[in-house]
Amino acid sequence: MKVIAIFLNLGPYHVARLSAAARWLNSRGASLYAVEVYSHDDTYGWNRPDDDVPFEWITLLSSRERDRTKAARAVRDVLQTFQPDVVAIPGWGEQFARRALGWCRANRRPAILLSESTARDRARPVWKEQYKKHIVRQFHAALVGGSPQRDYVIALGFPANRVFTGYNVVDNDLFVRARQTSRENAEALRADLSLPECYFLTVSRCVAVKNLPLLIDAYARYCRESPSSSPWRLVICGDGPDRVNLTSRARRAGVPPVDWRGFVQINQLPSYYALASGFILASYSEPWGLVVNEAMAAGLPLILSNAIGCAQDLARQGTNALLFEATSVDALTTRMHELSDMPLSARASMGRASSKIIQDWGPDRFACGLGQALESITGSIAPQT
């Protein structure tokens, strides 16, 4: 069996998932081909890994060739050339994804939907949902993030017995190893990275949906309400078009300087998690939030808005996470105080709970979910959990 999985661009978490799936498929005499439409992503400046991967990596276009029609043709051509038995397609919004689905229909090949969308991501016009139902029903199986993603696909009319979870996972081991080694050499690493003793960490693009203005306002209030010697610092890893305005907003708020680190590559990012005191994601719309997986694998307590898509599956209020209303500065400020005022032993207990919960959400879960999806449509590959 030959399986092709298509993505806009392959980042570190794609590689971790696909490597697990490829090893699983190879052990059963099947092959995995990973197709990235573009060699580079304008949103994330990922470097390509130096290590060999257990799947064939196919790049269709350079990052300079951003053309939707050209991308759709390139996807059609690569499918025609490789003639896969099954195609895994990321959603339905991009033209290349719909072209891949059209190729599957024309050539009578089953298609697996890969999706992290939920019903509450954004306002959804009725006509668009009706069109989406027409598209979604053309797939033969679906591999989605978790519970809300599964509920949404089923609400669109997809058969519940062909919807499987495990799409949204990261390389947990990378962050676990970094937690162990970084904390063993914490003092030297803090000095090398110029990181404070205690800090809230946010890993986020600087775009509107990430709700960073609210985070900055809440942090300013948190600092004003805290004794002068005790406020934690705020470290933000990420870049984007709103960064200049956000920097100015923080300066006007008069808070201790927000520590902006820009985009951090995957080889350094685990150290920022490992040395952090807690993790915050304030987004007002977030289909999943893979940075939450990363923070949990690093053993961190969480402060999450109630709009984070993974919260239903990964966050336990008071156990490993403190949740807040995404529109409330007061609520986020309160959560910051709660976490920073908490005894170290209580924070450590929350971190251990994060580590335990996320153990079941690693790359092998993606491989199992993909295997279950394949079995549901072909009956020839039996997944092992």
- Per-residue pLDDT of 164-212, as tens digits, reads 999 999 999 999 999 999 888 999 999 999 999 999 999 999 999 999 9
Residue 48 lies in a domain: yes
Q: How far apart are CA 239 and CA 261, in angstroms?
A: 8
Say yes or no: 111 and 179 in one domain: no
Confidence of residue 385 (pLDDT cuts 50, 70, 90): very low
Helix axis angle, 329-341 to 212-225, nearest 10°: 50
Residue with tokens 């990378």: 174
The share of the chain scoring above pLDDT 70, in percent, equals 98
What is the structure's pLDDT at 199?
A: 97
Same domain, 312 and 372: no
Distance (Å, whole) CA 63 – CA 334? 43
123 and 185 both lie in a single domain: no
Q: What is the mean pLDDT of the segment spanning 287-305?
A: 98
Q: Say yes or no: 164 and 210 in one domain.
A: no
For 60-122, the DSSP string reads EE-TT---HHHHHHHHHHHHHHH--SEEEEE-SSSHHHHHHHHHHHHTT--EEEEE---TTSS
140/234 same-domain check: no
204: which 2 tokens? 């986020």
pLDDT tens by residue, 328-374: 999 999 999 999 999 999 999 999 999 999 999 999 999 999 999 99
- Say if 385 falls within a structural domain: no
Q: Positive or negative, the Cα torsion across 118, 327, 208, 196?
A: negative
pLDDT for the residue 253:
82
Cα separation of 197 and 178, whole Å?
Answer: 17
The pLDDT, as a whole number, for residue 384 is: 38
Rounded Cα distance between 360 and 313, Å, is 11
User: Chain-wide mean pLDDT for the chain?
Assistant: 93
pLDDT at 382: 41
**Angle between the N-to-C axes of helices 363-378 and 12-26, in degrees from 0 to 180, rounded to the nearest 10:** 50
32 in any annotated domain: yes
Query: How many domains does the structure of the chain reveal?
Result: 2
CATH of the domain at 269: 3.40.50.2000
Examine the domain organization and report whether 90 and 184 are in the same domain: no
* Share above pLDDT 90 across residues of the chain, in percent, rounded to a whole number: 84
pLDDT surpasses 90 at 255: no
- Phi, psi of 56, rounded to the nearest 5 degrees: -85, 125
The confidence score (pLDDT) of residue 274 equals: 96
CB atoms under 10 Å from CB of 191, counted, come to 9
* Per-residue pLDDT, 64: 66
Whether 312 maps to a domain, the answer reads yes
**What pLDDT, on a 0 to 100 scale, did the predictor assign at position 383?**
37
pTM of the model: 0.94
Cβ–Cβ < 8 Å for 95, 52? no
Do 232 and 107 lie in a common domain? no
pLDDT band at 381 (very low <50, low <70, confident <90, very high): low
The domain of 149 spans 2-169+362-378
Residue 179 lies in a domain: yes
